[in-house]
Amino acid sequence: MKPVSIIGIGKTAFGAFTGQSILDLALEASRKCLKNGNVQASRVEAFYLGNFAGPAFVGQNHVAPYVASALGLGNVPATRFEAACASSGSAFFHAWGAVAGGLYDLALVTGVEKMTSQPTARVTDILASAGEVDGEVRAGATFPALFAMIARRHMHQFGTRRDHLAAVAVKNHGNGAKNPDAHMRKVITAEQALAGRMIADPLTVYDCSLVSDGAASALLCPAERAGEFASQPIRVLGVAQASDYLALADKEDITTFPAVRRAGEKAYQAAGVGPEQIDFAELHDCFTIAEIIAMEDLGFVPRGEGGPAVASGFSALNGPKPINTSGGLKAKGHPVGATGVGQICDLALQMRCQAGERQIPRANVGLAQNLGGSGATCVVTILGR
């Protein structure tokens, strides 16, 4: 397999954009990416699109060639990947494999979602379809309810407290307030987080990610050619995808996600690094408990110690292991099909020292963890400067 580099990145702001369509968003991010990578659209050899629910959110299916043709890519292969909230992480994984395997030299990956065209109740139903429809969803479970059960079990098993969950929200809101592209640029206090409107006990509104629109893109090429296009290419050190049961009832232990552990192990092995070599990370905080569990599953802290670690400042901007310097899904926003590539763009910004107010001093090796559903899919990507 050939070493692969990211030579271009581009993304929209994340937020609620009533005047922009799913096509507008995808084109904006893709064009920014191509410009950033100094590549003409006509040179792209394959297009990989991450999109969870274009048909349900906006009524548009066959989204990949829809975007590719409007972008002027010509008659290249254009394929949509659906893996719930890990859709664009999965698209990136497959694009990386095609470039590493020598199939293509220039592959464009874009993730996009247009969620705010539907009322919140309908969005909740669409998102729930990424769970086990015949069992949990039919019984009335939504993702807030499922992650509330995960949180309660983690509290019972390890002594995690609500103020630990609140610490994740406070940290990520603080980081998001420094991110000009974030959906929610709002600093909050622990008191506000704890007093927020209850969504699914013990999760308040401040423990839940946002309903967002947005898109993000990355351009891949063999590392040996990266210097032809970019002055600051970012090396893909390792990337892996793993899967697991959709239903919580089928899992042996709902306080850990085997897909995260397996994808992390494989990505670490490919990159030749361990958790201690990761300088910073973008973790999938669809709910605050998800960030805590990801910290544990990826080996950043021992099991059961994620909550106290966040409260101690371990994952703060100036902490030993900065996590979600972008604001995470909690504050940056969570347009589900765009989230995975959005995380990769944010790693690259840090590595290029282009993160503005939220720039950290050491950003040589970064990790992105993109989760689908309640742990049924996970993609872990490790990048190096």
Other C-beta atoms within 10 Å of 35: how many? 12
Burial class of 52 by CB neighbour count within 10 A (0 to 12, 13 to 18, 19+): buried
pLDDT digits (tens, 9 = 90+) for 2-55: 999 999 999 999 999 999 999 999 999 999 999 999 999 999 999 999 999 999
Residue 200 located in a structural domain: yes
**301 and 345 together in one domain:** yes
Domain with 12 in it: 4-119+212-235
pLDDT digits (tens, 9 = 90+) for 233-252: 999 999 999 999 999 999 99
Residue 134 located in a structural domain: no
Q: Please count the residues of the chain.
A: 385
Structural Rg of the chain based on CA atoms: 19
Residue 133 located in a structural domain: no
The pLDDT-based confidence of 108 (bands split at 50, 70, 90) is very high
Pairwise CA distance, residues 94 & 320, whole Å: 32
Residue 228 located in a structural domain: yes
pLDDT digits (tens, 9 = 90+) for 292-349: 999 999 999 999 999 999 999 999 999 999 999 999 999 999 999 999 999 999 999 9
Residue 263 located in a structural domain: yes
Q: Which CATH number is 70's domain given?
A: 3.40.47.10
| Residues belonging to the active site | 85, 334
**35 and 160 together in one domain:** no
**164 and 78 together in one domain:** no
Q: What is the number of domains present in the chain?
A: 2
Pairwise CA distance, residues 238 & 77, whole Å: 24
Pairwise CA distance, residues 104 & 111, whole Å: 19
**Mean per-residue pLDDT for 111-119?**
97
111, 338 contact by CB (below 8 A): yes
Residue 378 located in a structural domain: yes
Nearest to 96 by CA among 270, 257, 280: 270
**306 and 331 together in one domain:** yes
**222 and 345 together in one domain:** no
**231 and 255 together in one domain:** no
pLDDT digits (tens, 9 = 90+) for 351-379: 999 999 999 999 999 999 999 999 999 99
Residue 131 located in a structural domain: no
pLDDT of residue 262: 98
Pairwise CA distance, residues 96 & 99, whole Å: 5
